[in-house]
Chains A and B, each alone.
Chain A
Amino acid sequence: MKPRLPLVELVLCALCLWAAWYHTPAGALVRTAGAWVFRTHTTARPLLAYYGAGTLVPPPEHALPLPGPVPPAQALAYGAFAVRADLGSPPAIASRLRSLAQTLHSEDAAALALFCGEETAHYAMEHAGSQPHLIDLARALPPSKTCVSQAAQALMLGGAYALAWPLPESVRITSPFGMREHPLLGGRRLHAGVDLGVMKGAPVRAVADGIVRRASSDGVNGRILVVDHGGGVVTSYCHNDELLVGDGDHVRRGQMIARSGNTGRSTGPHLHYQLDLGGEPVDPLRFRAQRPKTAVGASD
Protein backbone atom coordinates (compact mmCIF):
# COMPACT_ATOMS: atom_id res chain seq x y z
CA MET A 1 0.00 0.00 0.00
CA LYS A 2 1.37 3.40 -1.01
CA PRO A 3 1.39 5.93 1.88
CA ARG A 4 -0.42 9.25 1.36
CA LEU A 5 1.60 12.37 2.14
CA PRO A 6 3.53 10.86 5.10
CA LEU A 7 5.48 14.02 5.98
CA VAL A 8 2.34 16.18 6.03
CA GLU A 9 0.58 13.58 8.14
CA LEU A 10 3.50 13.47 10.55
CA VAL A 11 3.40 17.26 11.00
CA LEU A 12 -0.40 17.26 11.47
CA CYS A 13 -0.22 14.46 14.03
CA ALA A 14 2.57 16.27 15.87
CA LEU A 15 0.38 19.41 16.01
CA CYS A 16 -2.54 17.43 17.43
CA LEU A 17 -0.29 15.81 20.02
CA TRP A 18 1.11 19.23 21.00
CA ALA A 19 -2.39 20.64 21.41
CA ALA A 20 -3.65 17.64 23.41
CA TRP A 21 -0.47 17.39 25.50
CA TYR A 22 -0.41 21.02 26.64
CA HIS A 23 -4.01 22.18 26.37
CA THR A 24 -6.32 19.39 27.57
CA PRO A 25 -6.88 17.82 31.01
CA ALA A 26 -6.28 14.39 29.46
CA GLY A 27 -2.82 15.58 28.38
CA ALA A 28 -2.22 17.04 31.84
CA LEU A 29 -3.21 13.69 33.36
CA VAL A 30 -0.68 11.82 31.20
CA ARG A 31 2.02 14.42 31.94
CA THR A 32 1.39 14.26 35.68
CA ALA A 33 1.39 10.45 35.63
CA GLY A 34 4.64 10.51 33.63
CA ALA A 35 6.24 12.94 36.07
CA TRP A 36 5.14 10.76 38.98
CA VAL A 37 6.55 7.58 37.39
CA PHE A 38 9.84 9.18 36.39
CA ARG A 39 9.99 11.40 39.50
CA THR A 40 10.40 14.58 37.48
CA HIS A 41 8.77 18.02 37.60
CA THR A 42 5.66 18.78 35.51
CA THR A 43 4.26 22.11 34.35
CA ALA A 44 0.74 20.64 34.03
CA ARG A 45 -1.92 22.79 35.70
CA PRO A 46 -4.58 21.32 38.03
CA LEU A 47 -7.07 19.39 35.86
CA LEU A 48 -10.00 21.73 36.51
CA ALA A 49 -7.94 24.79 35.53
CA TYR A 50 -8.23 23.75 31.87
CA TYR A 51 -11.83 24.97 31.75
CA GLY A 52 -13.06 28.51 31.17
CA ALA A 53 -10.02 29.50 29.05
CA GLY A 54 -8.10 30.70 32.12
CA THR A 55 -10.78 33.20 33.14
CA LEU A 56 -12.08 31.19 36.14
CA VAL A 57 -9.81 32.65 38.79
CA PRO A 58 -10.00 33.07 42.56
CA PRO A 59 -10.11 36.62 43.98
CA PRO A 60 -6.71 38.11 44.95
CA GLU A 61 -5.72 37.74 48.60
CA HIS A 62 -5.94 41.46 49.30
CA ALA A 63 -8.13 44.16 47.81
CA LEU A 64 -7.12 47.77 47.53
CA PRO A 65 -8.09 49.82 50.62
CA LEU A 66 -10.34 52.57 49.27
CA PRO A 67 -9.51 56.19 50.12
CA GLY A 68 -13.05 57.30 49.23
CA PRO A 69 -16.00 56.42 47.01
CA VAL A 70 -14.95 54.84 43.72
CA PRO A 71 -16.41 56.71 40.74
CA PRO A 72 -18.29 54.07 38.66
CA ALA A 73 -16.22 55.00 35.61
CA GLN A 74 -13.04 54.15 37.53
CA ALA A 75 -14.16 50.84 39.11
CA LEU A 76 -12.29 48.71 36.56
CA ALA A 77 -9.20 50.91 36.96
CA TYR A 78 -9.24 50.25 40.71
CA GLY A 79 -9.62 46.53 39.96
CA ALA A 80 -6.62 46.64 37.59
CA PHE A 81 -4.58 48.62 40.12
CA ALA A 82 -5.38 46.05 42.85
CA VAL A 83 -4.05 43.27 40.57
CA ARG A 84 -0.96 45.13 39.32
CA ALA A 85 0.08 48.29 41.16
CA ASP A 86 2.86 48.97 38.60
CA LEU A 87 0.27 49.94 35.95
CA GLY A 88 0.02 53.46 37.38
CA SER A 89 -2.47 55.33 39.54
CA PRO A 90 -6.19 54.41 39.24
CA PRO A 91 -7.09 57.72 37.48
CA ALA A 92 -4.24 57.17 34.97
CA ILE A 93 -5.35 53.56 34.37
CA ALA A 94 -8.96 54.76 33.97
CA SER A 95 -7.91 57.22 31.29
CA ARG A 96 -5.95 54.51 29.46
CA LEU A 97 -8.88 52.07 29.74
CA ARG A 98 -11.27 54.69 28.33
CA SER A 99 -9.09 55.21 25.28
CA LEU A 100 -8.67 51.44 24.81
CA ALA A 101 -12.42 50.86 25.16
CA GLN A 102 -13.08 53.51 22.49
CA THR A 103 -10.74 51.75 20.08
CA LEU A 104 -11.83 48.21 20.89
CA HIS A 105 -15.55 48.92 21.55
CA SER A 106 -15.56 46.65 24.63
CA GLU A 107 -14.64 47.08 28.30
CA ASP A 108 -13.54 43.43 28.57
CA ALA A 109 -11.27 43.84 25.53
CA ALA A 110 -9.85 47.03 27.07
CA ALA A 111 -8.95 45.10 30.23
CA LEU A 112 -7.38 42.38 28.09
CA ALA A 113 -5.37 45.01 26.18
CA LEU A 114 -4.16 46.54 29.46
CA PHE A 115 -2.64 43.25 30.62
CA CYS A 116 -1.85 41.38 27.37
CA GLY A 117 -1.17 44.24 24.95
CA GLU A 118 -3.28 45.98 22.30
CA GLU A 119 -2.24 43.65 19.48
CA THR A 120 -3.44 40.62 21.42
CA ALA A 121 -6.75 42.30 22.29
CA HIS A 122 -7.33 43.38 18.67
CA TYR A 123 -6.63 39.82 17.52
CA ALA A 124 -9.03 38.38 20.13
CA MET A 125 -11.75 40.89 19.15
CA GLU A 126 -11.45 39.93 15.48
CA HIS A 127 -11.98 36.27 16.34
CA ALA A 128 -14.60 36.50 19.11
CA GLY A 129 -17.61 38.12 17.45
CA SER A 130 -19.43 41.29 18.46
CA GLN A 131 -19.71 42.45 22.11
CA PRO A 132 -17.76 39.50 23.51
CA HIS A 133 -17.08 38.79 27.17
CA LEU A 134 -13.57 38.05 28.40
CA ILE A 135 -14.17 34.29 28.20
CA ASP A 136 -15.01 34.58 24.47
CA LEU A 137 -11.90 36.69 23.90
CA ALA A 138 -9.75 34.27 25.90
CA ARG A 139 -10.97 31.29 23.85
CA ALA A 140 -9.41 32.91 20.78
CA LEU A 141 -5.99 33.01 22.49
CA PRO A 142 -3.54 30.26 23.44
CA PRO A 143 -4.60 29.09 26.95
CA SER A 144 -1.10 29.48 28.37
CA LYS A 145 -1.39 33.29 28.40
CA THR A 146 -1.21 34.17 32.13
CA CYS A 147 -2.12 37.80 31.43
CA VAL A 148 -5.69 36.59 30.72
CA SER A 149 -6.00 35.52 34.37
CA GLN A 150 -4.84 38.97 35.49
CA ALA A 151 -7.41 40.62 33.22
CA ALA A 152 -10.06 38.26 34.64
CA GLN A 153 -9.11 39.25 38.21
CA ALA A 154 -9.16 42.95 37.31
CA LEU A 155 -12.62 42.64 35.75
CA MET A 156 -13.84 40.66 38.77
CA LEU A 157 -12.54 43.26 41.25
CA GLY A 158 -13.75 46.08 39.00
CA GLY A 159 -17.19 44.47 39.02
CA ALA A 160 -17.08 44.28 42.82
CA TYR A 161 -16.02 47.95 43.19
CA ALA A 162 -18.87 49.00 40.90
CA LEU A 163 -21.61 47.23 42.88
CA ALA A 164 -24.44 49.29 44.37
CA TRP A 165 -26.04 48.38 47.73
CA PRO A 166 -29.25 46.29 47.94
CA LEU A 167 -30.89 48.51 50.58
CA PRO A 168 -30.72 52.22 51.48
CA GLU A 169 -27.31 53.20 52.93
CA SER A 170 -29.03 54.13 56.21
CA VAL A 171 -29.90 50.47 56.96
CA ARG A 172 -27.66 49.16 59.72
CA ILE A 173 -25.57 45.98 59.76
CA THR A 174 -26.73 43.58 62.45
CA SER A 175 -24.10 40.90 61.83
CA PRO A 176 -20.90 41.48 59.81
CA PHE A 177 -18.97 39.08 57.56
CA GLY A 178 -16.52 36.70 59.25
CA MET A 179 -16.18 34.06 61.95
CA ARG A 180 -18.78 34.38 64.70
CA GLU A 181 -20.78 32.48 67.30
CA HIS A 182 -23.87 31.26 65.43
CA PRO A 183 -27.00 32.78 67.05
CA LEU A 184 -29.17 29.70 66.43
CA LEU A 185 -26.89 26.70 65.98
CA GLY A 186 -24.10 27.73 68.37
CA GLY A 187 -20.39 27.13 67.73
CA ARG A 188 -18.01 29.30 65.72
CA ARG A 189 -18.88 29.40 62.03
CA LEU A 190 -18.12 31.63 59.07
CA HIS A 191 -20.87 34.14 58.40
CA ALA A 192 -20.48 34.35 54.62
CA GLY A 193 -22.31 37.65 54.15
CA VAL A 194 -23.62 40.68 56.01
CA ASP A 195 -27.00 40.88 57.75
CA LEU A 196 -28.88 44.11 57.21
CA GLY A 197 -31.60 44.85 59.78
CA VAL A 198 -34.66 45.89 57.82
CA MET A 199 -38.41 45.58 58.30
CA LYS A 200 -40.46 42.98 56.45
CA GLY A 201 -41.57 44.13 52.99
CA ALA A 202 -38.71 46.58 52.29
CA PRO A 203 -37.69 46.64 48.62
CA VAL A 204 -34.47 44.73 47.84
CA ARG A 205 -32.68 46.00 44.73
CA ALA A 206 -30.18 44.35 42.36
CA VAL A 207 -26.68 45.72 42.95
CA ALA A 208 -25.72 45.40 39.26
CA ASP A 209 -27.02 44.06 35.95
CA GLY A 210 -27.12 40.26 35.88
CA ILE A 211 -29.00 37.02 35.36
CA VAL A 212 -30.94 35.26 38.14
CA ARG A 213 -29.15 31.98 38.64
CA ARG A 214 -31.36 30.75 41.43
CA ALA A 215 -34.76 31.76 42.79
CA SER A 216 -35.77 29.12 45.31
CA SER A 217 -36.92 28.52 48.87
CA ASP A 218 -35.61 26.34 51.69
CA GLY A 219 -35.85 26.15 55.47
CA VAL A 220 -32.40 27.67 56.06
CA ASN A 221 -31.97 30.50 53.55
CA GLY A 222 -35.70 31.16 53.24
CA ARG A 223 -36.70 32.67 49.91
CA ILE A 224 -33.33 33.13 48.22
CA LEU A 225 -32.16 34.88 45.06
CA VAL A 226 -28.73 34.32 43.51
CA VAL A 227 -27.77 36.77 40.77
CA ASP A 228 -24.80 36.21 38.44
CA HIS A 229 -23.29 39.53 37.30
CA GLY A 230 -20.67 37.88 35.06
CA GLY A 231 -16.89 37.82 35.41
CA GLY A 232 -17.08 35.67 38.56
CA VAL A 233 -19.18 38.23 40.53
CA VAL A 234 -22.26 36.65 42.14
CA THR A 235 -24.55 38.13 44.82
CA SER A 236 -27.11 36.36 47.02
CA TYR A 237 -30.12 37.76 48.87
CA CYS A 238 -31.64 35.50 51.58
CA HIS A 239 -34.64 35.40 53.96
CA ASN A 240 -36.89 37.41 51.59
CA ASP A 241 -40.63 37.56 52.09
CA GLU A 242 -41.36 37.61 48.36
CA LEU A 243 -39.27 37.07 45.22
CA LEU A 244 -40.16 39.34 42.31
CA VAL A 245 -37.99 37.67 39.65
CA GLY A 246 -37.51 34.06 38.58
CA ASP A 247 -34.79 31.68 37.35
CA GLY A 248 -33.04 32.94 34.23
CA ASP A 249 -34.52 36.47 34.38
CA HIS A 250 -32.28 39.37 33.38
CA VAL A 251 -32.17 42.08 36.06
CA ARG A 252 -30.94 45.67 35.82
CA ARG A 253 -28.94 47.59 38.44
CA GLY A 254 -31.35 49.15 40.95
CA GLN A 255 -34.29 46.97 39.86
CA MET A 256 -36.53 45.79 42.71
CA ILE A 257 -36.00 42.02 42.81
CA ALA A 258 -37.52 41.00 46.15
CA ARG A 259 -39.24 42.18 49.34
CA SER A 260 -37.23 41.52 52.50
CA GLY A 261 -38.64 39.26 55.18
CA ASN A 262 -38.02 36.75 57.91
CA THR A 263 -38.19 33.39 56.08
CA GLY A 264 -35.88 30.46 56.77
CA ARG A 265 -33.53 30.14 59.77
CA SER A 266 -33.60 33.70 61.11
CA THR A 267 -34.02 35.51 64.44
CA GLY A 268 -36.08 38.35 62.94
CA PRO A 269 -36.70 40.37 59.78
CA HIS A 270 -33.43 41.11 57.96
CA LEU A 271 -31.64 40.67 54.63
CA HIS A 272 -28.59 38.40 54.38
CA TYR A 273 -26.55 39.90 51.52
CA GLN A 274 -23.63 37.88 50.24
CA LEU A 275 -20.94 38.61 47.65
CA ASP A 276 -19.01 35.76 46.02
CA LEU A 277 -15.95 36.40 43.86
CA GLY A 278 -14.63 33.48 41.82
CA GLY A 279 -16.83 31.13 43.87
CA GLU A 280 -15.50 32.33 47.26
CA PRO A 281 -17.53 34.45 49.70
CA VAL A 282 -15.87 37.79 50.45
CA ASP A 283 -16.80 40.71 52.69
CA PRO A 284 -18.85 43.08 50.51
CA LEU A 285 -17.71 45.99 52.69
CA ARG A 286 -14.14 45.49 51.43
CA PHE A 287 -15.28 47.06 48.18
CA ARG A 288 -17.17 50.00 49.62
CA ALA A 289 -15.77 53.29 50.79
CA GLN A 290 -19.00 54.10 52.61
CA ARG A 291 -19.66 51.66 55.46
CA PRO A 292 -23.16 51.30 56.92
CA LYS A 293 -23.37 51.63 60.71
CA THR A 294 -23.74 48.55 62.86
CA ALA A 295 -26.54 47.81 65.35
CA VAL A 296 -27.80 44.95 67.48
CA GLY A 297 -30.69 43.23 65.70
CA ALA A 298 -32.01 40.28 63.73
CA SER A 299 -29.56 37.82 62.22
CA ASP A 300 -29.27 34.26 60.83
Chain B
Amino acid sequence: MELRVTERVSKIRWIFLPLGMCALVAVGTHAAADVVGDKVLFAVDRVDAFFDAIFSSWSVTAPLVDLVGLGERTFFARAVALAWELSADALLAIPLLGYDERAAADELTIARVLVKRRPSLRLVQPAAALLVSIAGAAAVARLLQGTLLHYPLIGGFVAATALFGLFLLLAPRAVFRSLEHASAQKTAIGLLGLAILGPLAIAAVASL
Protein backbone atom coordinates (compact mmCIF):
# COMPACT_ATOMS: atom_id res chain seq x y z
CA MET B 1 0.00 0.00 0.00
CA GLU B 2 2.75 2.39 1.11
CA LEU B 3 4.78 1.42 -1.93
CA ARG B 4 1.86 2.24 -4.20
CA VAL B 5 1.52 5.73 -2.70
CA THR B 6 5.27 6.29 -3.10
CA GLU B 7 5.09 5.15 -6.73
CA ARG B 8 2.15 7.44 -7.43
CA VAL B 9 3.91 10.40 -5.82
CA SER B 10 7.07 9.59 -7.80
CA LYS B 11 5.11 9.88 -11.01
CA ILE B 12 4.19 13.50 -10.33
CA ARG B 13 7.63 14.61 -9.11
CA TRP B 14 8.24 16.31 -12.45
CA ILE B 15 5.54 18.82 -11.55
CA PHE B 16 5.83 19.34 -7.79
CA LEU B 17 9.64 19.51 -7.57
CA PRO B 18 10.02 22.52 -9.92
CA LEU B 19 6.99 24.21 -8.34
CA GLY B 20 8.36 23.66 -4.83
CA MET B 21 11.81 25.01 -5.77
CA CYS B 22 10.23 28.03 -7.44
CA ALA B 23 8.13 28.67 -4.31
CA LEU B 24 11.16 28.23 -2.01
CA VAL B 25 13.12 30.86 -3.94
CA ALA B 26 10.07 33.17 -4.08
CA VAL B 27 9.79 33.02 -0.28
CA GLY B 28 13.52 33.74 0.02
CA THR B 29 13.42 36.71 -2.35
CA HIS B 30 10.49 38.14 -0.38
CA ALA B 31 12.40 37.84 2.90
CA ALA B 32 15.35 39.62 1.24
CA ALA B 33 13.18 42.31 -0.43
CA ASP B 34 11.59 43.11 2.95
CA VAL B 35 15.07 43.95 4.26
CA VAL B 36 15.91 45.94 1.09
CA GLY B 37 12.67 47.98 1.47
CA ASP B 38 13.95 49.74 4.61
CA LYS B 39 17.20 50.75 2.88
CA VAL B 40 15.33 51.89 -0.25
CA LEU B 41 13.31 54.32 1.89
CA PHE B 42 16.51 56.11 2.93
CA ALA B 43 17.66 56.27 -0.70
CA VAL B 44 14.26 57.62 -1.79
CA ASP B 45 14.53 60.35 0.87
CA ARG B 46 17.92 61.41 -0.52
CA VAL B 47 16.65 61.44 -4.13
CA ASP B 48 13.55 63.43 -3.08
CA ALA B 49 15.72 66.00 -1.26
CA PHE B 50 17.89 66.32 -4.38
CA PHE B 51 14.90 66.94 -6.67
CA ASP B 52 13.24 69.28 -4.13
CA ALA B 53 16.38 71.46 -4.21
CA ILE B 54 16.20 71.61 -8.03
CA PHE B 55 12.43 72.06 -8.47
CA SER B 56 12.19 74.76 -5.78
CA SER B 57 14.57 76.99 -7.79
CA TRP B 58 11.81 78.10 -10.18
CA SER B 59 8.33 79.33 -9.27
CA VAL B 60 6.78 77.23 -12.07
CA THR B 61 8.16 73.96 -10.70
CA ALA B 62 8.02 74.88 -6.97
CA PRO B 63 4.53 73.33 -6.42
CA LEU B 64 6.06 69.97 -7.42
CA VAL B 65 7.99 69.99 -4.13
CA ASP B 66 4.73 69.53 -2.18
CA LEU B 67 3.58 66.83 -4.58
CA VAL B 68 5.72 64.14 -2.98
CA GLY B 69 5.17 63.90 0.78
CA LEU B 70 6.24 61.30 3.30
CA GLY B 71 3.32 59.03 2.38
CA GLU B 72 4.27 59.06 -1.30
CA ARG B 73 7.93 58.43 -0.46
CA THR B 74 7.02 55.42 1.71
CA PHE B 75 4.70 54.12 -1.02
CA PHE B 76 7.40 54.59 -3.65
CA ALA B 77 10.04 52.82 -1.53
CA ARG B 78 7.76 49.83 -1.03
CA ALA B 79 6.91 49.83 -4.74
CA VAL B 80 10.64 49.75 -5.57
CA ALA B 81 11.07 46.80 -3.17
CA LEU B 82 8.13 45.04 -4.85
CA ALA B 83 9.51 45.66 -8.36
CA TRP B 84 12.92 44.43 -7.19
CA GLU B 85 11.39 41.29 -5.73
CA LEU B 86 9.32 40.50 -8.83
CA SER B 87 12.37 41.06 -11.09
CA ALA B 88 14.39 38.70 -8.92
CA ASP B 89 11.56 36.16 -9.10
CA ALA B 90 11.62 36.42 -12.90
CA LEU B 91 15.40 35.95 -13.02
CA LEU B 92 15.76 33.34 -10.31
CA ALA B 93 12.49 31.57 -9.47
CA ILE B 94 10.75 31.22 -12.83
CA PRO B 95 13.70 29.43 -14.57
CA LEU B 96 13.50 26.76 -11.86
CA LEU B 97 10.23 25.60 -13.40
CA GLY B 98 12.36 24.16 -16.22
CA TYR B 99 14.11 21.72 -13.85
CA ASP B 100 14.62 18.32 -15.46
CA GLU B 101 15.73 15.86 -12.81
CA ARG B 102 18.66 13.55 -13.39
CA ALA B 103 20.50 11.08 -11.14
CA ALA B 104 22.33 12.85 -8.29
CA ALA B 105 25.74 11.71 -9.54
CA ASP B 106 25.00 13.01 -13.06
CA GLU B 107 23.86 16.37 -11.70
CA LEU B 108 27.07 16.66 -9.71
CA THR B 109 29.21 15.87 -12.76
CA ILE B 110 27.37 18.41 -14.93
CA ALA B 111 27.65 21.04 -12.17
CA ARG B 112 31.44 20.53 -11.93
CA VAL B 113 31.80 21.08 -15.68
CA LEU B 114 29.54 24.17 -15.66
CA VAL B 115 31.31 25.79 -12.71
CA LYS B 116 34.62 25.74 -14.61
CA ARG B 117 33.16 27.56 -17.63
CA ARG B 118 33.95 31.25 -18.22
CA PRO B 119 32.95 34.02 -17.67
CA SER B 120 32.57 33.57 -13.93
CA LEU B 121 29.75 36.15 -14.01
CA ARG B 122 27.58 33.15 -14.72
CA LEU B 123 28.09 32.08 -11.13
CA VAL B 124 26.17 35.10 -9.79
CA GLN B 125 22.80 33.48 -10.42
CA PRO B 126 23.54 30.13 -8.73
CA ALA B 127 25.27 31.90 -5.83
CA ALA B 128 22.21 34.12 -5.37
CA ALA B 129 19.99 31.03 -5.67
CA LEU B 130 21.95 29.39 -2.85
CA LEU B 131 21.67 32.37 -0.47
CA VAL B 132 18.05 33.08 -1.34
CA SER B 133 17.14 29.37 -0.95
CA ILE B 134 18.70 29.36 2.52
CA ALA B 135 16.74 32.52 3.40
CA GLY B 136 13.61 30.88 1.95
CA ALA B 137 14.14 27.68 3.96
CA ALA B 138 14.63 29.74 7.13
CA ALA B 139 11.49 31.79 6.37
CA VAL B 140 9.39 28.65 5.78
CA ALA B 141 10.71 27.11 9.02
CA ARG B 142 9.97 30.36 10.88
CA LEU B 143 6.43 30.45 9.49
CA LEU B 144 5.83 26.85 10.55
CA GLN B 145 7.18 27.42 14.03
CA GLY B 146 5.18 30.65 14.36
CA THR B 147 2.00 28.89 13.24
CA LEU B 148 2.57 26.18 15.88
CA LEU B 149 3.70 28.60 18.61
CA HIS B 150 1.15 27.22 21.07
CA TYR B 151 2.82 23.79 20.74
CA PRO B 152 6.49 24.76 21.18
CA LEU B 153 7.96 21.24 21.15
CA ILE B 154 6.09 20.14 18.03
CA GLY B 155 6.71 23.53 16.40
CA GLY B 156 10.44 23.39 17.05
CA PHE B 157 10.71 19.82 15.77
CA VAL B 158 8.65 20.49 12.62
CA ALA B 159 10.58 23.71 11.86
CA ALA B 160 13.98 22.05 12.32
CA THR B 161 12.95 19.08 10.17
CA ALA B 162 11.61 21.37 7.43
CA LEU B 163 14.77 23.52 7.52
CA PHE B 164 17.00 20.47 7.29
CA GLY B 165 14.88 18.87 4.55
CA LEU B 166 14.67 22.02 2.42
CA PHE B 167 18.36 22.66 2.79
CA LEU B 168 19.24 19.10 1.84
CA LEU B 169 16.64 18.21 -0.81
CA LEU B 170 15.45 21.38 -2.53
CA ALA B 171 18.17 24.06 -2.18
CA PRO B 172 20.94 22.05 -3.98
CA ARG B 173 18.59 21.35 -6.88
CA ALA B 174 17.65 25.03 -7.10
CA VAL B 175 21.35 25.94 -7.24
CA PHE B 176 22.02 23.30 -9.88
CA ARG B 177 19.14 24.43 -12.07
CA SER B 178 20.26 28.07 -11.70
CA LEU B 179 23.77 27.12 -12.75
CA GLU B 180 22.41 25.21 -15.73
CA HIS B 181 20.15 28.11 -16.72
CA ALA B 182 22.84 30.78 -16.21
CA SER B 183 25.26 28.84 -18.40
CA ALA B 184 22.82 29.02 -21.30
CA GLN B 185 22.39 32.82 -20.93
CA LYS B 186 24.07 35.74 -22.66
CA THR B 187 26.53 37.85 -20.64
CA ALA B 188 24.21 40.90 -20.75
CA ILE B 189 21.64 39.02 -18.70
CA GLY B 190 24.46 38.05 -16.36
CA LEU B 191 25.22 41.73 -15.74
CA LEU B 192 21.55 42.50 -15.18
CA GLY B 193 21.41 39.56 -12.83
CA LEU B 194 24.37 40.91 -10.89
CA ALA B 195 22.71 44.32 -10.49
CA ILE B 196 19.40 42.89 -9.33
CA LEU B 197 20.47 39.75 -7.50
CA GLY B 198 23.70 40.97 -5.88
CA PRO B 199 22.11 43.33 -3.30
CA LEU B 200 19.20 40.94 -2.81
CA ALA B 201 21.56 38.04 -2.05
CA ILE B 202 23.28 40.15 0.62
CA ALA B 203 19.88 41.14 2.02
CA ALA B 204 18.92 37.44 2.07
CA VAL B 205 21.81 36.81 4.47
CA ALA B 206 20.70 39.80 6.57
CA SER B 207 17.17 38.39 6.79
CA LEU B 208 18.36 35.21 8.56
Q: Which A residues lie at the B interface, using CB under 8 A? A: 1, 3-10, 12-17, 19-21, 23-27, 29, 47-48, 50-53, 56, 119-120, 123, 127, 139-142, 185, 189, 192, 213-214, 216-221, 226, 234, 236, 247, 264-265, 276, 279-281
Distance (whole angstroms) from the CB of B87 to the closest CB of chain A: 11
Q: Is B179 an interface residue (CB 8 A)?
A: no
Cβ contacts A to B, 11 pairs, < 8 Å = A6-B6, A6-B13, A9-B13, A9-B170, A19-B140, A20-B27, A23-B143, A25-B85, A51-B37, A213-B42, A220-B62
A153 to B16, CA, bound (A): 40
Q: In the complex, which of the residues B71, B104, B166 contacts A280, with contact meaning CB atoms closer than 8 Å?
A: B71
A residues near B62, Cβ cutoff 8 Å? 219-220, 265
The answer to whether A8 and B165 touch across the interface, beta carbons within 8 angstroms, is yes
A265 to B58, CA, bound (A): 12
A residues near B119, Cβ cutoff 8 Å? none
B residues near A12, Cβ cutoff 8 Å? 20, 162, 165-166, 169-170
Closest to A138 in B: B146
Q: Is B33 an interface residue (CB 8 A)?
A: yes
The answer to whether B147 and A216 touch across the interface, beta carbons within 8 angstroms, is no
A residues near B169, Cβ cutoff 8 Å? 4-5, 8-9, 12
A residues near B16, Cβ cutoff 8 Å? 9-10, 13-14
The answer to whether A220 and B162 touch across the interface, beta carbons within 8 angstroms, is no
Q: Is the interface of B mostly helix, strand, loop or mixed?
A: helix
Query: How many B residues, CB 8 Å from partner?
Result: 68
Distance (whole angstroms) from the CB of A145 to the closest CB of chain B: 8
Distance (whole angstroms) from the CB of B112 to the closest CB of chain A: 19
Distance (whole angstroms) from the CB of A240 to the closest CB of chain B: 14
Question: Per-position contact with A for B4-34: 1 when CB-CB < 8 Å, else 0?
Answer: 0110011001001101111110110110011
The answer to whether A25 and B86 touch across the interface, beta carbons within 8 angstroms, is yes
Interface stretch (choices B73-81, B122-130, B191-199): B73-81
